[in-house]
Amino acid sequence: MSFRIIVLAKQVPDTRNVGKDAMKADGTVNRAALPAIFNPEDLNALEMALKVKDSIPGAEILIVSMGPGRAAEIIRESMYRGADGGVLVSDRKFAGSDTLATSYTLSLAVKKLAPYHLLIAGRQAIDGDTAQVGPQTAEKLEIPQITYAEDVVAVDSSSITIKRRLERGIEVVKSPYPCAVTVHGSAAPCRPRNAKLVMKFKHARTLSELQEETKDYTEMRADRPYLNILEWSVDDIQADVEKLGLSGSPTKVKKIDNVVLQAKESRQFSSDEKDIDQLMKELIASHIVG
Amino acid sequence: MNNVFVYCEITEEGHVAEVSLELLSKGRKLANELGIKLEAVSIGDDLSHVPEEVFPYGVDVVHLADDKRLFPFTTLPHASIITKLFEQEKPEVALFGATSIGRDLAPRVASALRCGLTADCTSLEIGDHTEAKAGKTYKNLLYQIRPAFGGNIIATIINPDTRPQMATVREGVMKKEVAENAKQGIVQMIPVEEFVKPEDFVVEIIERHIEAQKINIKGAQIVVAGGYGVGSKENFNLLYDLAEVLGGQVGASRAAVDAGYVDHARQIGQTGVTVRPKLYIACGISGAVQHRAGMDQASMIISINTDPAAPINAIADYYINGTVADVVPRMIKYYKQNSK
């Protein structure tokens, strides 16, 4: 049995670079103005998978991503960097999934790819910052979890030893297979694209993407099966629709408030010594300091 | 049955963690409002001192799973114990610290119980909810309020149909306060052998280096915080000087931490700690929402910035237009000459 590594990756809106046009006039988030990117910690996860692959001959990496059709972009991006293939789990029925419904869906896709040794994912996605999907998917699969992984200390055919980054230190733990690993942003950054792999995989497509292409690639794809990015729907993973999307999500969003600055009457001072003295005098007099 | 539960984390030094005591304080208030009891659960090795640490916060019942194999924390045995206990006790609400441990454990438990969990709540309230479509009204739900989408929105999350209603909360967000009329509660021992399986112990800890928490900016009454606009590690020394004369602590924005001016332990904001000092001096901090989420409850805010349009100025009580290098030494000088 070859050594199989599954990496969970998500395409996310780039919430870190919220510019001026990212907010609409009514104060809501303009998602269209945010570029879709590879979730940063999932790139750390991919690098960790590649490091394991480098040390285990014959190991293969498969990417699993849940999202709309365009999320195939991050599967291709992973292939350019060394992944062997991937599955896009995509269906309108997944819309509105919270972390529980998402992990149910992902766990079914992962089960379909069994047997596997390692399930690796980023610690959290920047659009939600919950860090829940990794542990919840591990629970659904009934496998152990190692969270906040920073580095692989040792790996062989029977176990993996991982250094974890905790809030007040580090811990080194060892787990048998299969196990789930969530990777912290302090882990090694992902290696860049490899030019040969870009050439090899640049025509990799999902079936839906193919239907939008003008040129006919049927023959080329028959010769090179690795150009097929799998695309699975609810039926393909035999999911119970009650456990998906909104109906499978115990958490509901009751209300969304946009963050609006509440302007206070602020008093202005210059950096002149006279002004600073006046401010400090007031602070001392009102017992704020001293 | 149907009470408020708080998972009380055990620190390296063997005590109940600060964040857990903060959650007990909040849990007591929620339990009072709902007319139910507050219960605590601790898992570890040698927990005999835990009851006396938690009873002052108004705990009615404390559940203890005491076993040599349960410290240090590993996910599977703790998750098995909490899951079984919750299946038995059917809590209404369950709160966990949003720590390395809580954020590892709570999702695993929520998944096993198929219930909802909201991460990193900044506020917890009790309220009703009407499902417009079904015309159904839910009484006394837990409103789990948290920033989302990179801090650009604040979402109120509810779990209408599943129990427990689970949430994690970061350290420093809730206020720690002992309960009025706190009594001696009941101690319940969890039969560990019946709650864990041998295969829960497959993950082995090889090595640990955990440091005691040295920097405590969370409890500081005065915080002098620097951002990218401080300009250099050397300029940050001015902030340490000011903090020292005022008796405060130095904090930082994420940009300053990323630039290497200061250690991550001092980061304030959504991905750092939350502070609520009586005075917050923001030096060269523009005031992104993620940062403001960690400091906007300060009683008084002074912003020192060269940019009059910096968002932080809008929430500041005083805005000083100038550079850190000009302003901070003048503040120190005046204070040294005029304080008693």
Q: What is the pLDDT of residues B20-53, one digit of tens each?
A: 999 999 999 999 999 999 999 999 999 999 999 9
To the nearest 5 percent, what fractions of chain A are helix, strand and coil? 35, 25, 40
Answer whether residue A263 shows pLDDT above 60: no
DSSP run (H or E) holding A131: none
pLDDT for B205 beyond 90: yes
Q: Which of residues 262-291 of B touch A (CB under 8 A)?
A: 270-271, 278-279, 289
- Please answer yes or no on whether A279 and B104 come within 8 Å at the CB atom: no
| Residue of B206, B211, B254 to mutate for A, most A C-beta atoms under 10 A | B206
Question: What is the percent of chain B with per-residue pLDDT over 90, rounded to a whole number?
Answer: 71
| pLDDT for residue B318 | 92
**pLDDT digits over A26-70, tens only?**
555 566 778 899 999 999 999 999 999 999 999 999 999 999 999
Nearest chain A residue (CA) to B313: A266
Tens of pLDDT, residue by residue over A233-260, are 999 999 999 999 999 999 999 988 876 5
Name the minimum distance, in Å, from the CA of B182 to any CA of chain A: 32
The alpha carbon of residue B25 is apart from the nearest alpha carbon of chain A, in Å, by: 23
Nearest beta carbon to residue B149 from set A127, A267, A289: A127
> Buried b / exposed e across B47-77, counting CB within 10 Å, b at 16+?
beebbebbbebbbbbbbbbbbeebbebbbbb
Q: Which domains does chain B have, with CATH numbers?
A: 4-201 (3.40.50.620), 222-338 (3.40.50.1220)
Place of tokens 């998750």: B79
A108-131 tens-digit pLDDT: 999 999 999 999 999 999 888 899
Enumerate residues 156 to 195 of chain B having a beta carbon within 8 A of any beta carbon in chain A.
156-162
A145 at interface of B, judged by CB pairs closer than 8 A: yes
CA distance B186 to chain A (A): 32
By C-alpha distance, the chain A residue nearest B72 is A171
- Cα distances from A84 to residues A25, A42, A62, A72, A272, in angstroms, run 44, 16, 6, 14, 64
Q: Look at the block and give the residue holding tokens 């609520």.
A: B276
Q: A273: buried, middle or exposed (CB in 10 Å: 19+, 13-18, 0-12)?
A: middle
ipTM: 0.88
Chosen from B149, B205, B315, B332 to mutate, greatest number of chain A CBs within 10 A: B149
**Cα(A192)–Cα(A215) distance, integer angstroms:** 29
What average pLDDT does range B68-89 have in this prediction? 97
Residue B317 and residue A99: Cβ atoms within 8 Å?
Answer: no
Is B294 in contact with B317 (CB distance < 8 Å)?
A: no
Q: What is the mean pLDDT of residues A160-164?
A: 98
Given a cut of 80, whether residue A262 has pLDDT beyond it is no
- Cβ-based contacts of B328 with chain A (< 8 Å): none
Which residue, chain included where needed, has tokens 């990015």? A229
- Distance (Å, rounded) from C-alpha B205 to C-alpha A171? 7
User: Across residues B181-209, what is the average pLDDT?
Assistant: 96
The arithmetic mean of pLDDT across residues A179-203, rounded, is 96
Asked if A251's CB is within 8 angstroms of B118's CB, the reply is yes
The interface residues of chain B toward chain A in range 6-45, judged by CB-CB distance below 8 A, are: 12
Is there a contact between A280 and B315 if contact means CB atoms under 8 Å apart? no
Report the phi/psi class of residue A82: left, alpha or beta, with left for phi > 0 and alpha for psi in -120 to 50.
left
Residues 146-175 of A with CB under 8 A from B: 146-148, 161, 166-175
- Interchain contact A220–B (C-beta under 8 A): no
Output the six-digit token pair for A131: 């860090």
Helix, strand, or coil (residue B23): helix
Predicted confidence band at A222 (pLDDT cuts at 50, 70, 90)?
confident
What's the pLDDT score for residue A30? 67
Cβ contact B204–A174 (<8 Å): yes
CB contact under 8 A, B338 and A281: yes
Give contacts of A251 with chain B, Cβ < 8 Å: 116-118, 144, 157-159
Return mean pLDDT, chain B. Answer: 92
**Which of A12, A158, A261 to probe the B interface (max B CBs under 10 A)?**
A261
A218 in contact with chain B, both atoms CB, cutoff 8 A:
no
* Tally of CB atoms within 10 A around B179: 18
The residues in A 245-264 lying below 8 A from B, measured between CB atoms, are 249-259, 261-264
User: Which tens digits make up the pLDDT trace of B125-183?
Assistant: 999 999 888 889 999 999 999 987 766 678 999 999 999 999 999 887 888 899 988 89
Three-point CA angle B88, B94, B100, nearest 5°: 115
- Contact pairs from chain A to chain B, CB under 8 Å: 238
CA quadruple B236, B239, B241, B247: dihedral positive or negative?
Answer: negative
Whether B337 contacts chain A with CB within 8 A: no
Kindly identify which residue of chain A lies nearest to residue B132, measuring between CA atoms: A254
Instruction: Name all domains of chain A by residue range, CATH numbers in brackets.
Output: 4-243 (3.40.50.620)
Q: Which pLDDT does position A127 carry in this prediction?
A: 85
pLDDT tier, B264 (very low <50, low <70, confident <90, very high otherwise) = confident
Give the closest of A131, A252, A271 to B326, CB-based.
A271
